[in-house]
Structures are given as structure tokens and as C-alpha cells.
């Protein structure tokens, strides 16, 4: 009930902002920004539905990319790679007019880095949310293997080309601060994760990736990509500004209003 009331108030505040604008200001707010969001491992666009709706209510355009072998996509796990993920996001971005704000969660952090290297001129800014933030020549596995207190790290079960998780740990890995319904949403949408992309290294250059503005949103209670690893990755990565959310790995589910507010704030800078 509390979350329903807060969400209603959030919507009222957005609409109040619209009606307090002059005619020209209202037109500008409706033109909005364009966000392209890349979900992380073991997740898919369903997890971003509330944030997407809130951003769109404020006049923005939002595209949540379904990566290969995620969600309802039927690509074979053995045929996936970071470059394949990159190319799908590049296609989505190039199909949109103007520059975009590219958001990556978890594994999506390496994907958006690769996209920025490929098409820096189309990216207004990069936003890493509880995301892997590789240096050039690093893979997700390189980073995750150093996260010694991660519940995710000790819960992975490799089987052929896929990575499964100890099922009793799934809710606590991704959303230990969520409601029963939110945890059940994650569990009901769970599918094995392709393992090959975790070992793919990304090549990043100062002339491409290095020219794009970068922001990082930390998740302080994260048991998948721990805050300690997040801070280590951010150090020396050229991040313009850091923000903190006192949440698990999936704040877009447990505290979507907070994520929407931060994305809006970053877009306005």
C-alpha cells in the first residue's frame, strides 16, 4: 500500500510540473530525452517496465533492448557474445533520431561501453547502474572474479554454454529488499544466462569511448556486484558524477521512482 501511495504522489508531481509550465516550456518537456536501456544478466526488459512508464509519462522516449538469449529471444546460448549484444544495441540506437542517454545495468555496463566505442557520436552520455565498468582489455569475468564477497559469485553453476544459479539464492542475489511480489516477478522470469559473453574482453579507446560523458549509480546493498567492487571500478574510469541508492542490485524493481528521479537528474546536467 505504501508503494502504491508513493507512486501515485510521484505521478501527481510529474503532472503538476507539466501544468505549471508555460506553453513553450510544456512543449520542450514533451520533446524530452531519448533513453536506451540495456538490462543485465539473468534479466530482461520486463524488469524496467515501471521506470520506462515513468520516464515516458514525463515526455521522454524510452527503448529497453532485449539482448539475444534473454527474455523471449530465441537465439542459441552458444551463439552469443558481447559483440553480438553490442550490435543489437547499436542497431536500436541508430534507429533513433539524435543522441541518446545509454543506460547499462550489471552485464549491460560492458555492453554500453562497447557501444560507445562503436558509435560515440550517437551517445549523449553513459549511465552505469550497479554495472560492470571494464577498462580496455577486461571482461566481466575478470571483474566478477575479484568480487570476493558477492553472493552471485558463489552461486553460479556452469552447465555447458549456460550459467545457472543456486535457486534458493536468486531472490537475495537480485532483490533482497523487494516485496514478495517483486521477488516472485524475478523468479518467474528467470532463465539461464549465456556464459560465453562473460569472458569476452572489450577494447576501448580514448578517441571514441573516452569522449563520452559517464555517470555511475551505486547500489549500496548490492549482493551481486558489491559496492566495494563498484567503487574499485569507478576509480580512474573518468566518471563525471556518482550517485548512491540504498538498494539491492535491482532498484528499478524495488525503488523505481528513485531510479527515474536519478536518470532525469543526470539527463538535465
CA torsion sign for 66, 190, 248, 179 is positive
Q: Cα separation of 158 and 160, whole Å?
A: 6
Describe the crossing of helices 256-268 and 2-19 by its angle, rounded to 10 degrees. Answer: 30
Write down all domains in the chain, each with its CATH number in brackets.
Answer: 32-268 (3.40.50.1820)
> What secondary structure, in 3-state letters, does 74-88 show?
CCCHHHCCHHHHHHH
Q: Cα separation of 22 and 29, whole Å?
A: 10
> The whole model's pTM is what?
0.89
Q: Cα separation of 65 and 105, whole Å?
A: 12
User: Residues 146-177: pLDDT tens digits?
Assistant: 999 999 999 999 999 999 999 999 999 999 99
pLDDT for residue 70: 98
- Least Cα distance to 174 among 162, 149, 182 occurs for 182
State the average pLDDT for the chain.
Answer: 91
Q: Does position 117 have pLDDT exceeding 70, yes or no? A: yes
pLDDT for residue 149: 97
Amino acid at each position: 500500500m505504501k508503494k502504491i501511495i508513493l507512486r501515485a504522489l510521484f505521478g501527481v508531481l510529474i503532472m503538476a510540473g507539466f501544468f505549471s509550465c508555460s506553453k513553450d516550456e510544456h512543449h520542450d518537456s514533451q520533446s524530452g530525452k531519448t533513453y536506451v536501456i540495456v538490462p543485465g544478466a539473468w534479466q530482461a526488459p520486463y524488469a524496467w517496465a515501471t521506470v520506462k512508464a515513468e520516464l515516458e509519462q514525463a515526455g521522454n522516449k524510452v527503448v529497453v533492448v532485449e539482448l539475444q538469449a534473454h527474455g523471449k529471444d530465441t537465439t542459441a546460448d552458444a551463439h552469443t557474445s558481447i559483440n553480438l549484444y553490442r550490435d543489437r544495441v547499436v542497431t536500436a540506437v541508430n534507429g533513433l533520431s539524435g543522441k541518446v542517454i545509454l543506460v547499462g545495468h550489471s552485464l549491460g555496463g560492458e555492453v554500453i561501453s562497447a557501444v560507445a566505442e562503436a558509435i560515440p557520436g550517437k551517445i549523449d552520455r553513459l549511465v552505469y547502474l550497479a554495472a560492470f565498468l571494464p577498462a580496455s582489455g577486461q571482461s566481466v569475468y575478470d571483474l566478477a572474479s575479484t568480487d570476493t564477497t558477492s553472493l552471485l559469485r558463489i552461486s553460479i553453476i556452469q552447465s555447458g554454454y549456460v550459467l545457472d544459479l543456486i535457486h534458493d539464492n536468486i531472490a537475495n542475489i537480485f532483490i533482497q529488499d523487494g516485496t514478495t511480489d517483486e521477488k516472485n516477478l524475478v523468479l518467474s522470469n528467470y532463465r539461464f544466462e549465456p556464459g560465453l559473453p562473460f569472458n569476452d574482453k572489450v577494447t576501448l579507446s580514448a578517441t571514441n569511448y573516452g569522449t563520452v560523458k559517464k555517470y555511475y549509480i551505486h547500489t549500496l546493498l548490492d549482493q551481486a556486484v558489491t559496492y566495494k567492487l563498484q567503487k574499485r571500478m569507478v576509480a580512474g574510469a573518468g566518471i563525471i558524477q556518482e550517485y548512491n541508492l540504498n538498494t539491492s542490485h535491482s532498484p528499478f524493481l524495488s525503488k523505481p521512482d528513485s531510479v527515474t528521479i536519478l536518470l532525469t537528474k543526470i539527463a538535465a546536467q
